[in-house]
Amino acid sequence: MNDMQSLYRIAVLAGDGIGPEVTAEAVKVLKAIEEINGPTFRFQSGLIGGCALDQTASPLPAETISICNNSNAVLLGAVGGPQWDSKRPELRPEQGLLQIRQRLGLYCNLRPAKVLDALVNMSALKPPRVKGTDLVIVRELMGGIYFGNPRGIFTKNGERYGVNTEIYREHEVERVAHRAFQLARLRRHKVTSVDKANVLESSRLWREVVTRIGQSYTDVELNHLYVDSCAMQLIDRPTSFDVILTNNMFGDILSDEAAMLTGSIGLLPSASLGEHSALYEPVHGSAPDIAGRNKANPLAAIASAALMLRYTLRMESAALAIEEAIERILKRGVRTADLPGKARPTSTTKMGDLIAETTQKILKSANSKKKR
């Protein structure tokens, strides 16, 4: 697509640890696309997480929210680190993440886990079992036990109680279910809804609502699994899953499990979508142990930029070009230090250069084919 006229504002919240390093590579790749295909990207940085706490005493300063509200999309790096671990819960970097989900209304979190043929040997499972795995977890991101009230640590009759509440309103289930079914239509037309309806009322409502919404997507096959069984079947038959729809807590856990099917959490992107905003970030954390050493794998951040191009900016061919570039470079045997199979690992910046160059090559050849 020639996108000469368009201007897109991208908020860049690099965060802590390796966040700034990997986000810089994602920006590098977007600038490479800008050179070839002509949209203009305006990047504006904002603080979030530990660095925001240090500079403003808030994990999500008001200025950051206004930068995000003035942008078409948000690219986020990672938050957290040991120096903030001892802080009170409301002063921890993770609060920045939880708050931004609420403030931008990001209720739908997509976490794809795809096992690339070039990397099938990296999986925690044997290759024949995982080869071809291509699933997306659709995680509800604004409700459930993460945010339900009452919550807190209370004292009653001299004993302390830790309390959290798993709660779902019907409309919260409806809106994320619609997203899952719509996504399935672009894929293999299968949704597996995951709950604990044999024990929890919130899950019983979840299952009822998902079933009702599913009736208006007759071309999509809907199955239900209990979360414990799903955890098992993800290992037993990973290739049979297409879209997995689940609540906030189960999605948190299952998405880490699904990451291990691919062998490296360093490769996995995510998208968090609301009605008017969208945030893109790697699934991995801030990896403070390797921060600042040009060692981190930038591919998850770069793949997150590809999701941004796809879902928010509707630049599918540019998104595909990035994804194709990642596959090509990995096939060539280039590896960052987190990936096995390389005596001399490639640095963060070098990996970014290679993906940027290859993406440009792919776009140029697509453009010249179009002209012919």
Query: What residues are labeled active site?
Result: 146, 196, 228, 252, 256
State the residue for tokens 């904002």.
46
Report the phi/psi class of residue 70: left, alpha or beta, with left for phi > 0 and alpha for psi in -120 to 50: alpha
d(CA 353, CA 325): 11
Report the partner that residue 97 touches, choosing among Mg ion, ligand IPM, none (CB closer than 5 to 8 A by kind): ligand IPM
Nearer to ligand IPM, 224 or 284 (CB): 284
Report the partner that residue 221 touches, choosing among ligand IPM, Mg ion, none (CB closer than 5 to 8 A by kind): none
- Shortest Cβ 111–Mg ion spacing (Å): 9
The closest of 81, 98, 49, 111 to 287, measured between CA atoms, is 81
* Residues 225-284 close enough to bind Mg ion by CB under 5 A: 252
- Shortest Cβ 234–Mg ion spacing (Å): 15
d(CA 255, CA 238): 13
Report the partner that residue 94 touches, choosing among Mg ion, ligand IPM, none (CB closer than 5 to 8 A by kind): ligand IPM
Q: Do 23 and 12 form a contact (C-beta atoms < 8 A)?
A: yes
- Shortest Cβ 93–ligand IPM spacing (Å): 8
The closest of 150, 52, 148 to 97, measured between CA atoms, is 52
d(CA 270, CA 281): 5
- Shortest Cβ 205–Mg ion spacing (Å): 24
Residue 252 interacts with ligand IPM (CB under 6 A): yes or no: yes
d(CA 175, CA 194): 16
Binding mask 21-60 for Mg ion (x = CB under 5 A): ----------------------------------------
- Shortest Cβ 341–ligand IPM spacing (Å): 27
Number of residues that bind ligand IPM (CB under 6 A): 4
Nearer to ligand IPM, 21 or 252 (CB): 252
- Can you tell me which of 11, 97, 108, 273 binds ligand IPM, judged by CB under 6 A? 97
d(CA 339, CA 104): 34
Nearer to ligand IPM, 6 or 102 (CB): 102
d(CA 353, CA 367): 21
* Alpha helical stretches, state H, 240-347: 248-262, 299-311, 316-331
Dmax (CA) of the chain: 81
- Shortest Cβ 195–Mg ion spacing (Å): 19
Binding mask 308-337 for ligand IPM (x = CB under 6 A): ------------------------------
- Can you tell me which of 6, 36, 65, 94 binds ligand IPM, judged by CB under 6 A? 94
Give the residue closest to Mg ion by C-beta: 252
Report the partner that residue 301 touches, choosing among Mg ion, ligand IPM, none (CB closer than 5 to 8 A by kind): none
Reduce the DSSP state of residue 196 to 3 states and report it.
coil
Q: Do 269 and 310 form a contact (C-beta atoms < 8 A)?
A: no
Residue 260 interacts with ligand IPM (CB under 6 A): yes or no: no
DSSP type of residue 38:
-
Query: If you write DSSP's letter for every residue of 328-351 in order, what string do you get?
Result: HHHHTT---TTSSS-SSPPPHHHH
The contact set with ligand IPM (CB under 6 A) reads 94, 97-98, 252
The contact set with Mg ion (CB under 5 A) reads 252
